[in-house]
Structure 1
Amino acid sequence: MTSLTADRLVAGPAAPSGTARPGPRFLTAPFAHRTWREQGYLALVLLLAPFAFAYAVFAVSFTAGVAVTVVGLVVAGAAVLGGRGWGAAYRSLARDLLDVDVAAPAPYVRPRGFWRTVGSMLSDAAGWRALLFLFIALPLSIVSFVTSITFLGAGLGGLTYWYWYQFLPQQLGADGELHRGAAFGDAYFLDTPPRLALAAVAGLVLLLCWPWITRMFAMIFRALSRGLLSPTRASLRVAELELSRTGTVDHADARLRSIERDLHDGTQARLVSVAMQLGEAREQLAEGGDLHQAADLLDTAHSSTKEALAELRELARDIHPPALDSGLTVALGTLAARSVLPVSVYVDPGLEAHGRLAPAIESIAYFTVAELVGNAATHARAGEVSVLVEPITDAVRIRVRDDGRGGAGTVRPGGQDPRTGLAGLAGRVYSVDGTFDLSSPVGGPTVVTVILPTTSPSSRA
């Protein structure tokens, strides 16, 4: 099954954050690769934390101290942007050792103009969020590593205490005898078989708890990395809209070029031929030539004119279907009547009870249904298609279902061939802040659900 919605797009790259692999079982956790990778992450983070914290303190204090100088502002802005580099390093560690792939923020784009550049550097959200991560990482890394390594060391020490306690120096106990081993006060020594067994049991418990303590701190770092080192929801939305707008502009440009090519190579050539035929017929009549030949030329010119008009009507219908002038319900009914497949259309009466949709929305809705019906006929080998259009809160939902062979797929805008097929449809839907969801398991059925706002983005701005 293929599923694609606008909310699941990544800017780019943008890919959503990954999730950690399933953890090992309780008894085997101390020997699992994941546990030791997480322990290694805590150790490496502790090594990096002092330098990262010093950089963060420098970036903040330097920015505050040199805010009155122009050169200082440039250096401070560069320091803020440098936080992105630290963020990339921590994302790489998280990906390699914590099995979590945190998406990188959108790259910094330098605007035109000196002061706009300085302002964008100093206000770079990704840089400041990375600096905040560096601030938090120092105390968190100290607590996490010390706690984790304490459980590990105490667990191993308790589990092997029965062997190495005999190498400890002797101590005089309260009973006046010499004892060898760990002491709790001056009267309790771990030097008898029951107490050695108790130490081994306590060590085993600590050792079994160690992976889960380590995992708890690793989960905190995962959440912190996702929260501060990944793109914000707003930046993802902006990148997604920019991508969809670009795809829409490219689609419009390609469509205009196609219309120009059809007019130049088809209709224009046909009209030139008509003009030549009419000119030749006029010469025949003016010179008293063969009337039958002139009549044949006029008949040919008449037929060519009607064909040119038909081509112009088809081009106009592709730009704006005349049936849309009477509303989306009538347009979809006309589309169903002209389809080579049996198409059942149901439009909820409440859709137009609250007024017509925005023209741009109606056009996208119509062409979306038209292309899906066409795909069902030409590619899916479907026997019938059903179309449901119903209003929801401040939006309209369109569901097109066919009983074809399924297996349809699409790419997100900006991927391969984003101006064609289902990818082109998705791009047009995204351009007005809509959602596009495709469910097409092999063997069918194929169900496409599109949700469009009732007004265009420009009217909502």
Structure 2
Amino acid sequence: MSTMTSPAPSGAPAARPAARPVGFLTAPFRSRTWREYGYLWIALLVAPFGFAYGWVTIALLAGLAVTVAGLWVGGGLIVGARGWGALHRLALRQTLDVEIPEPPVFVRGRGFWRGIGSLLGDSSGWRAWLYLIVSFPVVVAGFVVSTVFLAVALGSVTYPIWYRYLPLDAMEDGLYGDLVVGQANELLVAVASGVLLLFLWPWLQRLFTMLLTVLAQALLGPTRGAVRMAELRASRAVAVDAADARLRRIERDLHDGTQARLVAVAMQVDEAREQLSDGGDPRAATGLLDTAHASALETLAELREIARGIHPAALDSGLAVALRTLAARAPLPVRADVAPGVDDPRLAPAVESIVYYTVAELTTNAAKHAGATAVHVHVERQGRRVVVQVSDDGRGGAVVFDDDGSGKRTGLAGLRDRVHAVDGAFDLISPPGGPTVVTVTLPTSTRP
């Protein structure tokens, strides 16, 4: 079972292969170990400046808070911490292959006070600021401990090579003096100690890099709430565009179709009136009236179609009746199971319309594109949510985005956007060969 999602954008860097497990004996010689050490060097170069930036931000915000201009400056520095976060994410990505998603783009509020409030209340900026403060002691401790371990390990391993070059007065004191005198076993102890430290060094170093990685993932990435908010903004923007396009289509249909027919009806009635008032042929007048009557009936049919596109008339009797009516009129056998209580109380009108159009379009897709012979629709209420599941026995392989790498939207993308616009969930499972199962979860009300 797999859920179809949007493919990576074209041109995105290919994901690096997963790193192999590092053994204890090979750890000091693996590239990852040295990349971790390089990351500590980079972090040490950046962290002091970020740490200073963090405290300067607080100092300026506290010192200038009494002035309105100070609020703008402090808020701007808080948002500017996002840039430091981006720099640390880049370092982790380039050295340790750690991918941390970017937080949602900052959106400044409209107006004077809302603008200040959005700057001072930027949660992503504050979290990046906190990372600058908290990561500094970890970076310093990690770099010092790692470098000391590595230096002592390499010094001990190579001690038999360079110990003879120590000053004689230094060698005569303590252990080094004893080694020069000729105790070879002490040389072996020094080398063995160095080897042990060398093999322990990568794992001790990894503790610090893992801690920094966890901090970065917790503070520099997006929160679930921020991601959800960004998704809602995008979905509602799509819904607004779709509504605008729908209104334009209705306006065009009324202008090019219905209005033209009504104008023709008016002209035919005028001609019939002239025929009757000037003593013309009554048969010609009757023919004109018959034509006008037929045109008026066609216009009424068109208006019903347009009105049905705005709000299905079947929903006036409730969702259960509308879905059963839809199933009866479907081009293939559809079994609609609507659990008791779905319409008690009634769902929000917008939610009912989404459920109706979702079932209608999925049923049409099953007949038109999937080659299905039967569709099963199940609708039930679960607390403050309504769950709609539509399954068919077609050929499967349905996707929200084309899987040819172009990222082109399919017809299901519009359904998904409409569902997301009311904070719903859209799940598609459609393996090649079928079956296709679409599960839509919607709130029962669009009000908070």
Smaller-chain TM-score range? 0.7 to 0.9
| 1-structure distance, mates of 2:96, 2:441 | 37
Give the letter for the 1:334 counterpart: T
| Aligned counterpart, 1:179 | 178
Aligned positions, number: 438
Change (3 A) 1:35 1:359: same
| Aligned counterpart, 2:3 | 3
1:378 is aligned to 2:359? no
Q: Do 1:9 and 1:240's aligned partners in 2 also have CA atoms closer than 8 Å?
A: no
Q: Do 2:394 and 2:436's aligned partners in 1 also have CA atoms closer than 8 Å?
A: yes
Aligned to 1:427, the other structure's residue is in SS state: helix
Shift of 1:174: 8.2
| Aligned counterpart, 1:58 | 56
Change (3 A) 1:190 1:269: farther
| Aligned counterpart, 1:342 | 333
**Percent same amino acid at aligned positions?**
54
| 2-structure distance, mates of 1:190, 1:348 | 91
1:25 is aligned to 2:22? yes
* Equivalent residues in 2 for 1:168-207, closer than 5 Å: 168=166, 171-172=171-172, 179-180=178-179, 191-193=183-185, 195-207=186-198
Q: Do 2:4 and 2:399's aligned partners in 1 also have CA atoms closer than 8 Å?
A: no
1:448 is aligned to 2:434? no
User: After superposition, what is the alpha-carbon deviation per residue over 1:93-152, rounded to whole angstroms, capped at 9, x for unaligned?
Assistant: 122112122223333333344444344433333322222111112210111112222333
Alpha carbon RMSD of aligned pairs, Å?
Answer: 3.3
Change (3 A) 1:328 1:178: closer
Aligned to 1:349, the other structure's residue is in SS state: coil
Q: Do 1:50 and 1:138's aligned partners in 2 also have CA atoms closer than 8 Å?
A: yes
| Aligned counterpart, 1:320 | 311
| Aligned counterpart, 1:271 | 262
Shift of 1:158: 3.8
| 2-structure distance, mates of 1:235, 1:178 | 65
Shift of 1:433: 1.2
| Aligned counterpart, 2:294 | 303
Aligned to 2:336, the other structure's residue is in SS state: strand
Aligned to 2:178, the other structure's residue is in SS state: strand
| Aligned counterpart, 1:185 | none
TM-score by length of 1: 0.84
Change (3 A) 1:283 1:73: closer
| 2-structure distance, mates of 1:319, 1:114 | 39
Shift of 1:249: 1.3
| 2-structure distance, mates of 1:299, 1:410 | 49
Higher alpha-carbon deviation: 103-112 or 92-101: 103-112
| 2-structure distance, mates of 1:167, 1:440 | 73
Give the letter for the 2:21 counterpart: P
| Aligned counterpart, 1:184 | none
Shift of 1:322: 1.6
| Aligned counterpart, 1:108 | 106
User: After superposition, what is the alpha-carbon deviation per residue over 1:236-290, rounded to whole angstroms, capped at 9, x for unaligned?
Assistant: 2222222222111111111111111112222222222233333333434444544
Q: Do 2:109 and 2:117's aligned partners in 1 also have CA atoms closer than 8 Å?
A: no
What stretches of structure 1 move > 6 A for 4+ residues in a row?
415-418
1:428 is aligned to 2:428? no
Structure 1 residue runs without a partner (length 5+): 182-188
TM-score by length of 2: 0.87
* Equivalent residues in 2 for 1:15-164, closer than 5 Å: 21-26=18-23, 27-164=25-162
